[in-house]
Structure 1
Amino acid sequence: MSRIADIASSALAGHDDAADLSVEAVHAFLSQLTATAVVTQRESISLFDALGRVLAEDVVSPVSVPPHDNSAMDGYAFDGAVLPDNAPIDASVTLRVAGTALAGAAWRGTLGPGDAVRIMTGAMMPAGLDTVIPQEFCKVDGDRVCFPARVLRRGDNRRFAGEDLMKGQPALRKGERLSPAALGMVASLGLPGVPVLRRLRVACFSTGDEILSLGEAPREGAVYDSNRYTVFGLLARLGCEVVDLGLVRDDPAALAATLQRAAREADAIITSGGVSAGAADHTRDVMQKLGDMAFWRVAMRPGRPLAVGLIPREASSQPAVLFGLPGNPVAVMVTFLAFVRPALLRMMGCHEAAAAPSPLLRARTTGPIRKKPGRTEYQRGFVKTVPGALPEICVAANQGSGVLSSMLEANGLVVLRHDQGSVGPGEEVDVMMFDGNI
């Protein structure tokens, strides 16, 4: 039994071969397929180069963050024991100001009973002091500071050493995809670089005699190649190293040579077009001859035809993973977001939480949405905020899979589930937002 068939026997168990695959079944299959296709080579890089990269090992903190107790406010630090219990509403506290503590150095003065220290945000708390009164509550008269007793409690506005992270604790876990916040966290530990997995290499090309390369003169019945540039953008946004193999005509020998080159040079391959059962679609036949392939009809709209397989690689026991996407521009983007993106994140070495699809937003529809049960639909729409209520989404009037302009006008996809029917105005729906994904 082939590897594809072996995975299918468990991931697609109980599926009716005559029926279209559900979106959930495809996810289960791809999760198993990519589990052993994770990059393992690693390198150490500077933080300026690390955005979007995947950690190769845990980052363990060599220091506590913050390294000392410090003030969360500009104000006056004092011993909170002086605050009276059950103070009347007009009670106040008056303290003597013994000095000023600035950020970046310890205050070395001497404190007596009832003394306070003027303190700046981030400055170390002087020994014996545990509370900070913000300066906006204070009245200062010479070396005296007075404030209402009931505006705070003992311990307020004090940050503890190690409150963010204790020395010896993992700050970030292996498989984490480094975000701007993660870069700041690593920098706060004093580390100039991080160990990461190498970038996933993904080859892509478009197929079809009806496709024109940019710069070619227009001709009747032909369209310019948009899919390759869309896929390039999606891969670059994901942080992959893109191997662009251009446009390949409907010639079996050329297709075979390009697929073999792609397998040599990349970990994954993405093609667009040629995976349906059309008479001129040689891509499907060539894929079957070169690799271990599955060709599916997925119960989704847009993007029904989908091919997934493995192409052997020279001098490697790990074959390249191939994703054959539909030819229509919107279908390419939707199938990438639905299936390819999470699969590539797993191959990049992300742990399951980091590879999981982004959480869906709940929004109310501004009008009716037509939908047939029995397939998952991804309808383009524009979400806008509504003060004090759920966001609203208006779906695009033209949901054709060739209308690429609708992806520009939309900022998310309404995800209508397999068993779901039509939706009425004002009903709640799930939305996959584009921000950060495309």
Structure 2
Amino acid sequence: MGKRLRDDCFALPPGIRWTPVDEALARLRTGLDCVAGTEEVPLGTAAGRILAAPVIARRANPPAANAAVDGYAFAFASLGGADEARLPLMTGRAAAGRPLGAAVTQGHAVRILTGAEIPEGADTVALQEDCEVAGGHVLIGAPRKRGANTRAAGEDAAAGEAVLDTGRRLAPQDLARIASVGVERVPVHRRLRVAVLSTGDEVIEPGADGPGIFDANRPMLLAFLAAQGFEAIDLGRAPDRAAEVRAALDRGAAGADAILTTGGASDGDEDHVSKILRAEGRVETWRIAVKPGRPLALGLWRGVPVFGLPGNPVAAFVCSLIFARPALMLMAGAGWSAPEGVMLPAAFEKRKKPGRREYLRARLDAGGRVEVFRSEGSGLIGGLSWATGLCELPDGALDVVPGTPVRFLPFAAFGI
């Protein structure tokens, strides 16, 4: 098991009222730590897992020098500096997985196929299109340098080399890298277990009859967590009754490393998440200078971190990307994960007031410019499906006109 978090990991300095986004992220980064233990898994099941130790090559790749093309192998010295040479052709050939089994005689050449091990006595390969074979000899249009058309032993990885570093989340191409150096079992962090709880009397299951608001947050967050490689745990819905909220939090603390809640995190009469955390656990309400979002309740319940996200699905989605994701990745062993954005010209107009960082639902138009959703209303969930990323506007005032450089954060930068 990993280490437990400090009780004061979410504490803010006295007097802090509105926390800038960068400061909130910095405090999450310094207050949290990896809590996921480690294990070894077979290579075939390692996709999406986070490396707990460097992967060390058991064998060089390639293990021996080999041919990069189909052609003829020979010793470069056999050319004697001439532009071309006519060399006797040895019997047999070298193919991938079927070495020649003999040394190449000085002044001779041998047929070789792509991927075949370079035979002893040879160090260069001539491309077959540059050669003519007749009468048991091969006429070679001389390569310009020794080692032409060959791949050196270990040019991709040397034996004993660390080919992938700790904290990397393994993609399919990484499995190829690991396999190529002969590693069969991979040291990874245990999957971070993250539970999701929706709260509120007004929330009902999609498809249910009767008045209420269909629960859009829980399926969204469970899918988001699964896309990050976490083990997502569904705690269901809890009505606005303290005992049921407490029981749900207890279930989450018993089986998860972190809990995400939506709704009930403010200071209203029926906001039982914050009330229970304040009375029986520990909670800090971070009023973050961000739109959409603002309040983010961060606390500990039975020693397990609780991220109290806004109840509005758009705000919950944005806060999960900007704040919860890097925090959970850090807890999972991947280190701090900041999204990589790109500056692109705007395709919209907006006069932004100072004071809050804003995240607009956005996508790129046919000209590669950033266009934003028709409305900033945080209740319009359709804008999330319309968008392919977020447009991040800075904390200060900004007048955006078409062509103004703005920062675009594609959803792919968040692993979705």
TM (normalized to structure 2)? 0.89
1:378 Cα deviation from its structure 2 partner: 1.4
1:66 Cα deviation from its structure 2 partner: 1.2
Partner of 2:278: 288
Distance (whole Å) between structure 1 residues aligned to residue 103 and residue 135 of structure 2: 19
Distance (whole Å) between structure 2 residues aligned to residue 53 and residue 368 of structure 1: 42
Q: Label 1:4 to 1:111 Cα distance change in 2 as closer, same or farther (>3 A).
A: closer
Distance (whole Å) between structure 2 residues aligned to residue 299 and residue 238 of structure 1: 26
Q: Label 1:281 to 1:70 Cα distance change in 2 as closer, same or farther (>3 A).
A: same
Contact 1:256–1:290 (8 Å) recurs in 2: no
1:331 Cα deviation from its structure 2 partner: 1.1
AA matched with 1:437: G
Partner of 2:311: 327
1:251 Cα deviation from its structure 2 partner: 1.1
Partner of 1:55: 51
AA matched with 1:408: S
Partner of 1:345: 329
Partner of 1:368: 349
Partner of 1:171: 163
The farther-off stretch of 50-59 and 127-136 is 127-136
Are 1:381 and 2:362 matched, yes or no? yes
Aligned pair partner of 2:226 in 236, 240, 260:
236
Distance (whole Å) between structure 1 residues aligned to residue 339 and residue 79 of structure 2: 48
Partner of 1:316: none
Are 1:105 and 2:98 matched, yes or no? yes
Q: Label 1:191 to 1:5 Cα distance change in 2 as closer, same or farther (>3 A).
A: closer
Partner of 1:403: 380
1:115 Cα deviation from its structure 2 partner: 2.9
The farther-off stretch of 402-411 and 226-235 is 402-411
AA matched with 2:114: T
Partner of 1:259: 249
- Residue aligned with 1:253, SS: helix
Partner of 2:65: 69
TM (normalized to structure 1)? 0.85
1:321 Cα deviation from its structure 2 partner: 0.8
Distance (whole Å) between structure 1 residues aligned to residue 385 and residue 79 of structure 2: 60
Partner of 1:39: 36
Distance (whole Å) between structure 2 residues aligned to residue 78 and residue 371 of structure 1: 70
Are 1:300 and 2:290 matched, yes or no? yes
Q: Label 1:213 to 1:129 Cα distance change in 2 as closer, same or farther (>3 A).
A: same
- Residue aligned with 1:196, SS: strand
Distance (whole Å) between structure 2 residues aligned to residue 189 and residue 241 of structure 1: 29
Q: Label 1:144 to 1:412 Cα distance change in 2 as closer, same or farther (>3 A).
A: farther
1:420 Cα deviation from its structure 2 partner: 5.4
AA matched with 2:200: G
Q: Label 1:76 to 1:270 Cα distance change in 2 as closer, same or farther (>3 A).
A: same
Contact 1:365–1:394 (8 Å) recurs in 2: yes
Partner of 1:310: 300
Q: Deviations over 1:71-130 (max 9, x none)?
A: 222333333345687x8xxx5555444342100132134534443333222211122322
- Residue aligned with 2:96, SS: coil
Q: Deviations over 1:303-351 (max 9, x none)?
A: 1111111112xxxxxx10110001111111111111111111111112x
- Residue aligned with 2:352, SS: coil
- Residue aligned with 1:245, SS: strand
Aligned pair partner of 1:155 in 147, 159, 165:
147
Distance (whole Å) between structure 1 residues aligned to residue 352 and residue 271 of structure 2: 30
Distance (whole Å) between structure 1 residues aligned to residue 139 and residue 327 of structure 2: 62
Are 1:21 and 2:19 matched, yes or no? yes
AA matched with 2:299: G
Contact 2:60–2:159 (8 Å) recurs in 1: yes
Q: Deviations over 1:107-155 (max 9, x none)?
A: 1345344433332222111223223333344444464444654x75332
Aligned pair partner of 1:247 in 214, 237, 256:
237
AA matched with 1:17: I
Unmatched tracts of structure 2, length 5 or more: none
Distance (whole Å) between structure 1 residues aligned to residue 118 and residue 366 of structure 2: 43
Q: Indicate the RMSD between aligned Cα atoms, in angstroms.
A: 2.6
Q: Label 1:373 to 1:143 Cα distance change in 2 as closer, same or farther (>3 A).
A: farther
Distance (whole Å) between structure 2 residues aligned to residue 141 and residue 384 of structure 1: 60
Distance (whole Å) between structure 1 residues aligned to residue 182 and residue 366 of structure 2: 40
AA matched with 2:179: A
Identity of aligned residues (%): 40
Contact 2:104–2:119 (8 Å) recurs in 1: no
1:212 Cα deviation from its structure 2 partner: 1.0
Contact 1:55–1:197 (8 Å) recurs in 2: yes
Contact 1:83–1:154 (8 Å) recurs in 2: no
Distance (whole Å) between structure 2 residues aligned to residue 411 and residue 83 of structure 1: 59
Contact 1:250–1:283 (8 Å) recurs in 2: no
Distance (whole Å) between structure 2 residues aligned to residue 384 and residue 78 of structure 1: 56
- Residue aligned with 2:400, SS: coil
Partner of 1:415: 392
- Residue aligned with 1:331, SS: helix
Contact 1:7–1:32 (8 Å) recurs in 2: no
Partner of 1:130: 123
Distance (whole Å) between structure 2 residues aligned to residue 158 and residue 327 of structure 1: 61
Distance (whole Å) between structure 1 residues aligned to residue 219 and residue 346 of structure 2: 32
1:410 Cα deviation from its structure 2 partner: 1.4
Contact 1:274–1:283 (8 Å) recurs in 2: yes
Distance (whole Å) between structure 1 residues aligned to residue 162 and residue 332 of structure 2: 21
Distance (whole Å) between structure 2 residues aligned to residue 195 and residue 46 of structure 1: 9
Aligned pair partner of 1:356 in 330, 337, 341:
337
Distance (whole Å) between structure 2 residues aligned to residue 8 and residue 146 of structure 1: 78
Q: How do residues 203-214 of structure 1 correspond to structure 2 at under 5 angstroms?
A: 203-214=195-206
- Residue aligned with 2:69, SS: coil
